[in-house]
Amino acid sequence: MDKKVELKNIVKSCETRFNRGASYAWKHSDFNDFSREIQNETKINISTNTLKRIFGKISVDDYYLPQQATIDALKKYSGYLPSDDELINSESTIISNIYPIVNSRFVWSVLIVSIVLFGLYIFTKNGNNNLGKITVSNAEGLLPKTVFFDLQLPKSEDSIFMDFGDKSPLIYLDPYQTKISHVYLFPAVFKVNFKSTDSILARTTVYVPSNKWLGIRFLRQGDIPNSYYAFPALKNSKDSLFYASNNQLQKVGLDTLKNHYTRLCNFTPINHHSDNFIFETTFKTAKEEKGIYCNSMQFQISGIDNMIRFNFVNSGCSSRVLNVISEQIFTGTQNDLSKFVLDLDKWNNIKLINRNKKLSLFVNGTLFFQGIYKQSIGDIRGVFVEFKGNGYIKKCSLKSLEGKKLYHF
């Protein structure tokens, strides 16, 4: 694969992992945090200015490429792997460059051999040939929840790390290590990986349920082990709203003067409605006394295999939009997502109808977006609505197409 194309794909993966919207709108403080997070997970220091060059905030010439060690660190941090289509295109490019069309029979022979070899590669890859294995052997507690893993480490000359999927630091694994445990502090579906320098070697899924509605306030997801506050989510009896005041959060030690996030979530398992449901929420954001400020709201339906997430922002901030529809990722830096700008200070109603992987999104009663995805999200495991800063929620529900209540707040 062309290195420039690969670098663009790595950048997209980093944006998704860092989860601060599109990198076009990141500020200097975001790049400082990003550099620190990469160093914590990979033990490799990438300067803020280098990251700005890679992510297009500092101009460079057309031929600029960072050092391979820097690219490898970004791959390791983001969990980037080329798709099968990219591998096929890479194979085709190599063949066309090396073998000019002189003898068509010879070219076809080479193509057939390459396809067979690629098929063997995919078969070997999918068969976990010497790639190791992660097995959940036991779990203790509901929330927090400690999960115990049995490990079969692959043979590798490279260092292998455990990524628990919750943005906690990577853990180095001893070559002969067979067991490890980890405590999860918030509900979600987590993708747990073995990682080497530039690839994911094995993967499993951990599901941490809540079995009720929870409110969570945190500074950044990566800081949750050190700075967050979780509480049972209840409606205010006076106005039937969900809202957690800053005074309430300051009493438990959460610094609300810093950028923080508020999430209303329920991760009770739901079966048999994976790609057929109706999600609806009515919300508005709390006004922030910060002058010029990008505010946002996002909602997510999490399946055991994939997720659907839509992100809305205030005017001028559409480059920070990050939408995920199963296998599809849309970022504001690569797409015109200005339609996802709303007046978040006013009450808005969002309704998403999913009929067998065909999505219709309505905003305040108007059809807003339609789309189709291919890969099922799997049985539903949870929903959340999240604000950057604080917000109010009148309603949050997930129903079957027949009207059966699956989640209702």
Domain ranges (residues) in the chain = 3-78, 84-126, 133-208, 213-408
Q: How far is CA 247 from CA 37, 254, 293, in A?
A: 29, 10, 21
* pLDDT value for 198: 67
Q: What is the CATH number of domain 213-408?
A: 2.60.120.200
Give residue 192's identity as a one-letter amino acid code. V
Q: Which long-range contacts (CB under 8 A, 24 or more apart) does 126-133 make?
A: 128/202, 130/154, 130/155, 131/194, 131/201, 131/202, 132/160, 132/194, 132/201, 132/202, 133/202
All residues at 6 or more sequence positions from 387 whose CB lies less than 8 Å from its CB, including other chains: 261, 262, 263, 283, 285, 286, 295, 296, 297
| Beta-bridge partners for 208 | 188
pTM as predicted: 0.66
Topology of the domain comprising 133-208: Immunoglobulin-like (2.60.40)
SS3 call for 221: helix
How is residue 267 annotated by DSSP?
-
* pLDDT value for 101: 36
Angle formed by the axes of helices 28-42 and 3-18, nearest 10°? 100
Decide: 34 and 26 in contact? Cβ < 8 Å.
Answer: yes
* pLDDT value for 61: 77
SS3 call for 401: coil
Decide: 397 and 407 in contact? Cβ < 8 Å.
Answer: yes
**CA 295 to centroid of chain Cα atoms:** 19
* pLDDT value for 230: 79
Q: Is 344 exposed, middle or buried (0-12, 13-18, 19+ CB in 10 A)?
A: buried
Q: Is 123 exposed, middle or buried (0-12, 13-18, 19+ CB in 10 A)?
A: exposed
Angle formed by the axes of helices 84-98 and 104-126, nearest 10°? 150
Q: How far is CA 61 from CA 56, 72, 162, in A?
A: 11, 21, 37
pLDDT per residue rounded down to tens, the chain (409 residues): 578 888 888 898 888 888 888 888 888 888 988 998 888 888 788 888 889 989 988 888 777 888 887 888 898 888 887 765 554 454 444 333 433 433 445 555 555 656 656 555 554 444 444 678 999 999 999 888 999 999 998 877 778 889 999 888 888 888 889 999 999 988 999 999 988 766 788 899 999 999 889 988 887 666 666 667 778 887 776 666 777 666 766 666 666 666 678 899 999 998 878 899 999 999 998 876 666 778 899 999 999 999 999 999 999 999 999 999 999 999 998 999 999 999 999 999 999 999 999 999 999 999 999 999 999 999 999 999 999 888 899 999 999 999 999 999 9
The Cα 375–Cα 372 span in angstroms is 10
Tokens 């500074």, located at residue? 219
Token digits for 231?
């509480």
Fold match between domain 133-208 and domain 213-408: no
Question: Of the candidates 70, 63, 64, 80, which has an alpha carbon nearest to the alpha carbon of residue 18?
Answer: 80
Tokens 């997801």, located at residue? 221
* pLDDT value for 109: 58
